[in-house]
Amino acid sequence: DNLLVSKHAVSEDSDNQVAMMQLNRPKALNALSDAVLDDVLHAAHVLDKDPTVRCLILTGSAKAFAAGADISEMKTKNFEDAYGTDMFGHWQELSRLQKPLLAAVSGFCLGGGCEVAMMCDMILCSKSAKFGQPEINLGIIAGGGGTQRLTRAIGKSKSMYMHLTGEFISAEEAYNSGLVAKVFPDDELMDETLKIAKTIASKGVLSVQAAKEAVNAAEELPLQEGLRLERRLFHSLFATKDQKEGMAAFLEKRPADFS
Ligand code: CO8
């Protein structure tokens, strides 16, 4: 009940699909309870392994992508509960899917919600989106990657400002800071996100996977290691049918038909 999953054909003449996971806990602004977490991770793993699914989308409602981890579930936890169970550690699995995962954000995208959006491969949002790490107001700090991923995305000073004041930033500020890739009018976000997902789904599976792996590695590896990984992945794509097809199609002035 906490998650609605739908699949959308990429085109009329293809079996390929885009899968959409929609958080569905409207009364709590999609707060990320343990039950929501289980549903999202389970669905993401199943869809990642489904050979007809080429691209995944994670979204919320018009009012909230997600207003953070569930405060009522966290309230009574003590150190033993948190450290002893590595609380929220397994959310990281979302950042290790093979297929691209797009976050489509409207409304509040706060705390763990912002962190989950940043675990996705890119963030698309509507003009109403508000991003924030307000954990400081609860006497805690971000625990799902916020201090690390937000800092890499928008730089130290802005990230520090958000983590220390708890203030939210608008869609426009998020776009200007590089946190999000595109901003759309509210009523166009889902259509535009589906279009982008279908565009990605029409490319070669292996080249998409390699591009995702290489770009994500830029957040983790020293430059020389990242450059080497990119070059090796680049070399490996010359072993694929899609490289032959892509280059032949260009030279024959026709659209490529990737396998
Ligand atoms: N947890 C539980 N319930 C919530 C949460 C939340 N994070 N956010 C909102 N709700 C509930 C409210 O309690 C309220 O319930 P009820 O109607 O039963 O009183 C309902 O949603 C609607 O919320 P509001 O009445 O507050 O709605 P407003 O429009 O007045 O305000 C806000 C919207 C500004 C978003 C406000 O709800 C708010 O500040 N929410 C909390 C935001 C927050 O502090 N988030 C950080 C949580 S801590 C965290 O995320 C730690 C992350 C750890 C790692 C996670 C890895 C994935």
CB distance 134 to ligand 1 below 6 Å: yes
Active-site residue flag, 112: yes
Q: At what angle do helices 205-217 and 241-251 cross, to 10 degrees?
A: 100
Active-site residue flag, 93: no
Query: Per-residue pLDDT for 15 more than 90?
Result: no
Active-site residue flag, 153: no
CB distance 28 to ligand 1 below 6 Å: yes
Query: Per-residue pLDDT for 257 more than 90?
Result: yes
Q: How many CB atoms lie within 10 A of CB 91?
A: 20
154 with 179: CB under 8 angstroms?
A: yes
Q: What is this structure's pTM?
A: 0.97
- The sheet with strand 108-110 has its strands ordered as 64-66, 108-110, 130-132, 169-170
CB distance 111 to ligand 1 below 6 Å: yes
**Residue 17 token pair:** 């699909």
CA dihedral over 141, 144, 145, 151, signed as positive or negative: negative
| Digit-coded pLDDT (tens) for 184-223 | 999 999 999 999 999 999 999 999 999 999 999 999 999 9
pLDDT at 12: 86
Active-site residue flag, 115: yes
Using the atom order of ligand 1, give the atom closest to the CA of residue 72. 2
Using the atom order of ligand 1, give the atom closest to the CA of residue 91. 57
Q: State ipTM.
A: 0.98
Beta strands in the chain (DSSP E): 3-9, 17-23, 53-59, 64-66, 101-105, 108-110, 122-126, 130-132, 169-170, 182-184
* Residue type (1 letter), 5: V
Marked catalytic residue, from 31, 69, 103, 104: 69
DSSP per position, 111-125: THHHHHHHHSSEEEE
CB distance 115 to ligand 1 below 6 Å: yes
CB distance 143 to ligand 1 below 6 Å: yes
Residue 147's alpha-carbon distances to 30, 153, 252, in angstroms, are 22, 10, 49
Cα 137 to ligand 1 centroid, rounded to whole Å = 12
pLDDT at 1: 84
Residue 213's alpha-carbon distances to 41, 121, 163, 217, 236, in angstroms, are 20, 10, 28, 6, 13
